[in-house]
Structure 1
Amino acid sequence: MKKENPVSVIVLAAGLGSRLEDQTLSKNKCLIEVAGKTIITRLLTQLQLQNVANVIMGVGYLSDVLESYIRRNHPEIKSVFVNNPIYARSGSVYSLNLCLDAVPEGHDVVVFEGDVVVEDSLVARSLASLKTLGEQEFSTVLAPYSSELTGTFALIDSEKVTAWRHESVRDADFPLLSSFKTVNITAMTAAAVATLQEHIKTTVHLNGVKAPLEYAMDSLIKNDYVIRPVVVTHEKWFEVDTAEDLEIANEIFSTSALVLS
């Protein structure tokens, strides 16, 4: 077991959120409310409960609105805002590379996409996974396949992720029924940060600034780096990309739904 390092959390929240229609005309996507709380307030509160104080926000679209909200509502969090100047024509992989540059030396890192809503226990498990990793290892949260889920799916074998396929490059013979949906929460040791950046830069060089982050993660796997799965059991989570997603997330995280579960 590796020694415990300080932890920095990266939240990727630079995107336009255009698929949420009028919900994001005047605010960043992570300022949308799910079950009475903004997505970012839910996450920052969860991180504070886990004694994480160093948060790096990857921002772009309406960054001033988001920064003002966080500084006003979460002054206890040490927030660093990293601006992606080309957010409108780039993807999360580009923002992540900029944020990784801002990680203090010697810090382990956990990355959250800014549109994912999760239960407290998944945040705790993501952070706890750092203690189990080897020096150059990663971990990621995965949910068992469901026909209701779309997007990027991964494969697991012998406690390692063996494939991480974005839907744009998924072969027809990909064993979807035995796969796992990526929840967009990934942890890495301090020593692994530079490794991920190398693969991100290669991904951008080969595929451009709009390349999905999944390309870089699959590149890690193909180069024999270890990504450990943190598999969702009963925990609730949902990714909010569209107005329909928002309705589902509100239903999942409503007080009555949490009580019934």
Structure 2
Amino acid sequence: MTRNVPKSAVILAAGLGARLRPLTDLCPKPLVEVNGTPILHNALRNLEAVGVEEVTIVVGYRKDAIQYACGRRFGELKINYLETSVFDCTGSAFSLWLARDVLLAGDCLVLEGDVFFEQDALRYLMASEVPDVAAVAPLGELTQGAAVLLSDSGFISGFCMSKAAAGFVAEGPRLFKTMNLLRFSAPTLKTTIVPALDDIVTSGAIRAYADELVAYLIEKRGLQLGAARCKDLRWCGIDSVEDLRIAELIFQRRSPPLTSRQDDK
């Protein structure tokens, strides 16, 4: 049975995008285009399509470009912005902490601003009967970065961090790649996620990444995070020029590009 759709989402889009230089010398990473469509526009279009009404974008590097490209409305989406001036020395967990008032307001989707994905990935998140869930995909041979280990009951039981995920193939069908698309329930945000973000900031660990936070909460604090398996969907996390080339190949048969700014209403 499909759960109620969260009406709000947070997109983390403050980073430097250093590994995408020179493309990001002037353009922030979320506005880098995949076959003519900015990464961030793709996310906003998909959020609108599944019924989200309000999006908060955390911006830092080249923030004016993002605000101009997306405006205060994108289609039917209302867009708010949170700005950080310390984007060059903080991680994505700090950006998420800046959005803590949004997180405390109710159920919420959390997206990294460098993921290009098909709309159905969000629909899979919505369809899960588990209140807190992450989108995951099968592990590819060349996949890099964090991978997640699934328990027999389909929950994420652990993270494989800071290594080539292909190095964990011994786990076979239980190992998946996290897509950095998550849905959290209001109770979990209030009692677990936001307090943990407060702890990170007050302890001075401001360079931590959001997936490191989630890994800690699962492995040490008992967070029950389900996995929405997106086996047949196209997606790509874009950190480097090579990632961008891969994304363009994956999505080369997309619908016509969405590049126009949606004016304020």
| Counterpart residue type for residue 134 of structure 2 | T
Give SS of 2:15's match: coil
Q: CA RMSD in A?
A: 2.7
Give the structure 1 partner of residue 251 of structure 2. 253
| Counterpart residue type for residue 166 of structure 1 | M
Say if 2:204 is the partner of 1:214.
Answer: no
Give the structure 2 partner of residue 160 of structure 1. 155
Q: Is the 8 A contact 1:100 1:197 kept in 2?
A: yes
**1:50 to 1:201, Cα distance in 2 relative to 1, 3 A:** same
Name which of structure 1's ranges 110-119 and 76-85 shifts more when overlaid on structure 2: 76-85
Alpha-carbon offset, residue 192 of structure 1: 1.2
Matches within 5 A, 1:13-24: 13-24=13-24
More helix by share: 1
Say if 2:225 is the partner of 1:227.
Answer: yes
Give the structure 2 partner of residue 150 of structure 1. 144
**Whole-Å separation in 1 of the counterparts to 2:251 and 2:3:** 35
Alpha-carbon offset, residue 244 of structure 1: 1.0
Matches within 5 A, 1:1-261: 4=4, 6-71=6-71, 74=74, 76-103=76-103, 105=105, 107-129=106-128, 132-134=129-131, 138-157=132-151, 158-167=153-162, 177=172, 178-194=174-190, 195-204=192-201, 208-221=205-218, 222-255=220-253
Alpha-carbon offset, residue 200 of structure 1: 2.5
Alpha-carbon offset, residue 123 of structure 1: 2.0
* Superimposed CA distance per residue, residues 95-121 of structure 1 (whole angstroms, 9 cap, x where no aligned partner): 01111323462x211111110011111
Give SS of 2:157's match: strand
Alpha-carbon offset, residue 179 of structure 1: 1.5
**How many residues end up aligned between the 2 structures?**
251
TM-score (norm 2): 0.85
**1:10 to 1:145, Cα distance in 2 relative to 1, 3 A:** same
**Whole-Å separation in 2 of the counterparts to 1:256 and 1:70:** 21
Q: Is the 8 A contact 1:153 1:176 kept in 2?
A: no
TM-score (norm 1): 0.86
**1:64 to 1:185, Cα distance in 2 relative to 1, 3 A:** same
Alpha-carbon offset, residue 196 of structure 1: 0.6
* Superimposed CA distance per residue, residues 219-261 of structure 1 (whole angstroms, 9 cap, x where no aligned partner): 221222210001121101101111111111011001179xxxx
Q: Is the 8 A contact 2:236 2:247 kept in 1?
A: yes
Give SS of 1:88's match: coil
Q: Structure 1: 5+ residue runs without aligned partners? A: none
